[in-house]
Chain A
Amino acid sequence: MCGIVGIYLKSSKLEKSLGKMLSGMLVNMESRGPDSAGFAIYKNEKNKDYKYSLCLSGVNFETFKKQISKEIKVASLVKNSDHVILKTKEKPSKINEVLSIKFKNVSLVGYGKSIEIFKQVGNPSDVVKKFNLNEFSGTHGIGHTRMATESAITTDGSHPYSTGEDECIVHNGSLSNHNNLRRKLVKNGSVFKSENDTEVAAGYISDSLKNKNLKDTLKSGLNDLDGFYTFITGTRKGFAVLRDEIACKPAVIAETKDYVAIASEFQAMAHLPNVNQAKIFEPEPGVVYSWGN
């Protein structure tokens, strides 16, 4: 099943309440995905440094802080439950190298100039409380509640998946050709951490974005990704939505002058401001919808 949600703000006046809006959406989608939850928040920061979202997975924060400072020049390190946001000028290749040699248990959840990702196993209402999502501000965000089907209930098996700078994806559905596609992408240099089908879709998108824009990437995905899906993909400037052509997996969009919200079910958005005056519609199958990109 799984529940997916996303919100994109058209004006800055709601930026401070983005976390609260997204948090309510995730909690309302708990019935579709009680196993794990996660969210990506894009912040309007003028950042020259990279931000790395890391899951400590049992590693002590103070120990990590001490050791990582020996390896790289850390601009800041902020703890949020079992995740940390590491700001540094170091490039992703360097960070990946340091993590794989020195911190095998610490996993890189996502990175970029704007994105922060938090995801963990457990009930969505516990997960959003744990990371204090209500207090987040930002320009747009996407989230996921997971009912695990094809791979284990782990942090690595949770969404959103991010395989490129400021990119992320959440998925409701299942892909049937992910093993073949994974092999092809690995040959091209992609690295995958889990057996999860959505991670392959994230890798596919990152790979394709090297040569195409997001809209064209998703259009080519209609031919290359086989299975059932509603995707929400986030980039620094906005997000896009795509449903497969059979469209078994639900999606509903509510658009007002202040925001665009998307969710698996309307009840996820029932608490949003002025939603009853919003233009509410279902995205058509096989059509790419995007905002801000």
Chain B
Amino acid sequence: MILDLKKLELRKVNDTLQNLERKKNDRSFTVLNPEGSHAVCAGLTDDLDVTIKGHVGYYCAGMNQNAHVTVEGNVGTGVGENMMSGTVHVKGNASQSAGATAHGGLLIVDGDTSSRCGISMKGIDIIVKGSVGHMSAFMAQSGNLVVCGNAGEALGDSLYETDIYVRGKVRSLGADCVEKKMDNKHTKKLDKLLKKANIKNFKARDFKRYGSSRKLYNFNIDNVSNY
């Protein structure tokens, strides 16, 4: 089914996708002419496939559950923010805060993302085929961030338990983020993630792993002058 944003209001398009008639078998949708609109495909809860043809604005596929959304273009701030499950695949670049606070599911970005990718992520897997901007995985709590390109300044600042894998260069690590050993368990996990994103040209051994040194977890009296 085709939903053309030149002919339909955004609310109508999102309403159609959010309140699917379950008796119908049509679970494949194409959204045309997004022209940078915000919140396209936000709040989907059903297992359906949506392809958006063009560039979209902020919070695309935010709060997603179960749906598989593909964007044939670039996305603005907060793609897949707070998503719970399903997949969001961006074929272009993503702006800042991609996958912010997301609890689950998979976000794949074929291009680059700008700053704060995966900020406060809580269980999502984010796979970026290009590079990520500064302060990515800031206060990230759980899940995996895979970066095939480079990472900007202050990667993983104030990190909790997210695993970060970067293939290229890291400009600098944030507070409490350290490089960690890539053991068998992590190699296997990363291989699975790369397979999910259909990445064949890189292997897990090409990546370095970063995580929390867990020094900021508890109040430390020796650091009192720094607070």
In the complex, which residues of chain A have a beta carbon less than 8 angstroms from the beta carbon of B96? 247, 250
Q: Residue A285 at the B interface, CB < 8 A?
A: yes
Contact A266 B114 (CB under 8 A): no
Contact A247 B36 (CB under 8 A): no
B114–A265 CB distance below 8 A:
no
Q: Flag if B35 contacts A267 (CB, 8 Å).
A: yes
Q: B55 to chain A: which residues have CB within 8 Å?
A: 266, 270, 276, 280
Q: Does B115 contact A (CB under 8 A)?
A: yes
Q: How many Å lie between the Cα of A271 and that of B77 in the bound state?
A: 20
The reply on A268 being an interface residue by CB < 8 A is yes
CB neighbours of B77 from chain A (8 A) = 250
B115 near A247: Cβ-Cβ < 8 Å? yes
Neighbouring B residues of A95 by C-beta, 8 Å: none
How many of chain B's residues have a CB under 8 angstroms from any CB in A?
A: 21
CB distance from A24 to the nearest CB of B (A): 11
Q: Judge whether B54 and A276 touch: CB under 8 Å.
A: yes
Chain B residue contacts of A281, Cβ below 8 A: 93
Smallest CB–CB gap between B5 and chain A, Å?
10
With both chains docked as a complex, state the minimum distance between the C-beta of A242 and any C-beta of chain B, in angstroms. 16
Verify A285–B115 contact, CB threshold 8 A.
yes
Whether A265 pairs with B57 at a CB distance below 8 angstroms is yes
Q: Any chain B CB within 8 A of the CB of A252? A: yes
Chain B hits for A247, CB < 8 A:
96, 114-115, 133-134
User: With an 8 A cutoff between CB atoms, is A282 at the interface?
Assistant: yes
Assess the B57–A266 pair: CB atoms within 8 A. Answer: yes
Does any Cβ of A come within 8 Å of B37's Cβ?
yes
Q: How far is the CA of A271 from the CA of B6 in the complex (A)?
A: 12
Q: What residues of B have a CB within 8 angstroms of the CB of A276 in the complex?
A: 54-55, 73
Are A270 and B115 touching (Cβ within 8 A)? Answer: no
Least CB distance, A48 to chain B, in whole angstroms: 42
Q: Are the C-beta atoms of A265 and B115 separated by less than 8 Å?
A: no
A282 engages B114 (CB within 8 Å): yes
Task: Count chain A residues whose beta carbon lies closer than 8 angstroms to a beta carbon of B.
Answer: 16
Asked whether any CB of chain A lies closer than 8 Å to the CB of B95, the reply is: yes
Q: Which residue of B lies closest to A268 (CB)?
A: B36
Which residue of A270, A282, A284, A285 is within 8 Å of B36 (Cβ)? A270
Cβ–Cβ contact B57 & A267, under 8 A: yes
- Assembled-state Cα–Cα distance A271/B115 (Å): 27
Interface flag for B85 (CB, 8 Å): no
> In the bound complex, do residue A266 and residue B36 qualify as a contact, i.e. CB atoms below 8 Å apart?
yes
- Cβ contact within 8 Å between A265 and B36: yes
In residues 234-257 of chain A, which contact B (Cβ within 8 Å)?
247, 250, 252
Question: Of A266, A268, A271, which is within 8 A of B74 by CB?
Answer: A266
B160 to A: closest C-beta gap in Å: 22
B86 CB-CB contact with A under 8 Å: no
Tell me which residues from 26 to 46 in chain B have a Cβ below 8 Å from any Cβ of chain A. Answer: 35-38
Whether a CB of chain A sits under 8 angstroms from the CB of B76 is yes
Please measure, in the bound complex, the distance between the C-alpha atom of A252 and the C-alpha atom of B36, giving whole angstroms.
11
B114 smallest CB distance to A (angstroms): 5
Q: Is the CB of B115 within 8 A of A266?
A: no
Q: Report the separation of the CA atoms of residues A73 and B89 in the bound assembly, to the nearest whole angstrom.
A: 64
Closest Cβ–Cβ distance, residue A205 to chain B (whole Å) = 25
Can you list, as one digit per residue, whether each of B95-138 has a CB less than 8 Å from chain A (1) or not (0)? Answer: 11000000000000000001100000000000000000110000
Q: How far is the CA of A269 from the CA of B93 in the complex (A)?
A: 17
Nearest-neighbour CB distance to chain A for B104, whole angstroms, equals: 27
Within 8 A of A (CB), among B61-97: 73-74, 76-77, 92-93, 95-96
Q: How distant is B134 from chain A, measured CB to nearest CB, in Å? A: 7
* Contact across chains for A266 and B93 when beta carbons are under 8 A apart: no
Query: Complex Cα distance A260/B36, Å?
Result: 18
The reply to whether B95 and A250 form a contact with Cβ atoms under 8 Å apart is yes
16 contacts between A and B (CB under 8 A): A247-B96, A247-B115, A247-B133, A250-B76, A250-B77, A250-B95, A252-B95, A265-B76, A266-B74, A267-B35, A276-B54, A276-B55, A280-B74, A280-B93, A284-B133, A285-B134
Identify 8 new A-B residue pairs, CB closer than 8 A, beyond the known A247-B115, A266-B56, A276-B55: A247-B134, A265-B58, A266-B36, A266-B76, A267-B35, A268-B36, A280-B92, A282-B95
The 6 A-B pairs of least Cβ separation, nearest first, read: A267-B36, A270-B35, A266-B36, A270-B36, A282-B114, A266-B55
